[in-house]
């Protein structure tokens, strides 16, 4: 909305100035102003559309934001042995976050659940995050893509 209002103010102001100037000084200022307004609108629409398409296509977040998410994860609970993987990508205008944490193999399910759930809530409180998923594991030697493979029968 802000961008739309800015574009309206700029284009209307330029159109008024060019129309007035065309009547007062040079008749060609009005069509020149119209061309400039049209070019400005076309360029801003193109830039906005490109930005929105990149966000809708699931583009990854910036390294700075990913580091912020990792920092939240590291400082969340001392019982987290390590952070295995962190995926942060656009989900509309905000981010979807997937975090894989490594906990002690002998930890009770109740503790693991509470750590994961409170971490998820903490990440989702970040204003840029739409949704977060926290996966708890007891080891990190496997490849992340192997995690969802179906066993062969």
How do residues 41-61 score in pLDDT, each as one tens digit? 888 888 888 877 777 777 888
pLDDT of residue 146: 60
Is residue 117 in some structural domain? yes
Runs of H (alpha helix) within 57-108: 63-74
Percent of the residues in the chain that have a pLDDT greater than 70, as a whole number = 91
Domain extent, residue 50, equals 2-56
49/109 same-domain check: no
pLDDT of residue 143: 64
Is residue 153 in some structural domain? no
Is residue 40 in some structural domain? yes
78/135 same-domain check: yes
pLDDT of residue 45: 85
Q: What DSSP assignment string belongs to 56-99? A: HTTPBPPHHHHHHHHHHHHTT-TT--EEEEEEEEEETTEEEEEE
Q: State residue 97 phi and psi, 5-degree precision.
A: -120, 130
Q: Which of 42, 40, 45 is nearest to 11 (CA)?
A: 40
Find out whether 58 and 97 touch, Cβ atoms under 8 Å: no
Q: Which of 89, 91, 114, 59 is nearest to 101 (CA)?
A: 114
Model's pTM, two decimal places?
Answer: 0.64
How many distinct structural domains can be found in the chain?
Answer: 2
Residue ranges for the chain with pLDDT beneath 70: 142-153
């Amino acid at each position: 909305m802000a961008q739309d209002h800015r574009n309206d103010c700029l284009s209307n102001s330029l159109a008024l100035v060019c129309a007035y100037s065309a009547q007062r000084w040079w008749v060609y200022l009005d069509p020149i102003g119209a061309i400039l307004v049209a070019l400005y609108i076309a360029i801003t629409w193109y830039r906005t559309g490109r930005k929105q398409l990149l966000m809708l296509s699931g583009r990854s977040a910036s390294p700075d934001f990913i580091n912020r998410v990792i920092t939240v994860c590291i400082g969340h609970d001392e019982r987290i042995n390590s952070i295995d993987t962190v995926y942060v990508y656009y989900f509309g205008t905000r981010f979807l976050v997937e975090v894989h944490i490594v906990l002690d193999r002998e930890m009770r399910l109740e503790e693991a659940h509470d750590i994961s759930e409170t971490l998820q809530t903490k990440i989702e409180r970040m204003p840029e995050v739409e949704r977060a998923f926290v996966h708890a594991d007891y080891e990190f030697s496997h490849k992340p893509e192997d995690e969802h493979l179906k066993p062969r029968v």
